[in-house]
Amino acid sequence: MLVQPADGERRSIAEAMDAFTQRADYPLMVVTVGSSDGEISGCLAGFVTQCSIQPPRFLVCVSKVNHTYFVAERVTGIALHLLGADQTDLASLFGEQTGDTFDKFEHCHWQPSATGAPILSECAAWLEGLIISRSSVGDHQALLIRPQAGGSGSHTGLLTLKTAPKFQPGHPA
């Protein structure tokens, strides 16, 4: 299928997507979950957005091949962590290691939350919420979140897709 832009240039959908996403920038977040049997997991996520003001809601998309996805299937809550501009090491830990073979939480400070999701001690801000619906959205699972608690951290600035180094994912997208 071809798209006809206003200037008359025709592009394939893949080319149009590349042109669009190369210009977009968004915050990178660490998403964490904890199951009732004590299993915890977390990953670096770029597909996270506020999707409602009233009532407040967030949409979090987790890759279906990611260890976090399999733990998230069994949980009621999730935590989101905005990373400060200086937190590339933490982003690398959660983006380049896989929870299938590596315990990421042995390499950072955290505390359990009310829902069991780990709250990272070092971040720019965090938000914990209850998962109120799940939906398959292609190669990711979308989790609709109702915020329950949150706070600010000691890190400043914001780590974004464009300001972060190029990570080698622990799993393919």
- 55 within domain boundaries: yes
Q: Which of 106, 143, 112, 140 is nearest to 126 (CA)?
A: 112
What percentage of the chain exceeds 90 in pLDDT? 72
More confident residue, 170 or 98: 98
CA angle in degrees (0–180, nearest 5) for 89-69-156: 30
Residue 173: per-residue pLDDT: 63
27 preceded by cis ω (within 30°)? Answer: no
Measure CA of the first residue to CA of the last residue in the chain; give whole Å: 24
Report yes or no on 78 lying in a domain.
yes
Task: Judge whether 18 lies within some domain.
Answer: no
Mean pLDDT of 140-166: 94
Rounded to an integer, the average pLDDT of 130-155 is 97
pLDDT of residue 8: 53
**What mean pLDDT is predicted for residues 96-112?**
91
Answer whether residue 89 shows pLDDT above 90.
yes
For the cut 90, the answer to whether the pLDDT of residue 142 exceeds it is: yes
Number of neighbours of residue 157 by Cβ within 10 angstroms: 13
Question: Mean pLDDT across the stretch 65-79?
Answer: 95
Domain-located, residue 170? no
Asked if pLDDT for residue 10 goes beyond 70, the answer is no
CATH of the domain at 61: 2.30.110.10
Q: Which has the higher per-residue pLDDT, 132 or 2?
A: 132
Question: What average pLDDT does this structure show over 39-45?
Answer: 96
- Tell me the CA distances in angstroms from 173 to 23, 63, 91, 131, one per residue in order: 20, 6, 16, 22
pLDDT at 168 over 80: no
d(CA 33, CA 112): 10
User: Does 113 fall in a domain?
Assistant: yes
Number of structural domains the chain divides into: 1
Domain that holds residue 89: 26-152
Is residue 90 within 8 A of residue 30, CB to CB? The reply is yes
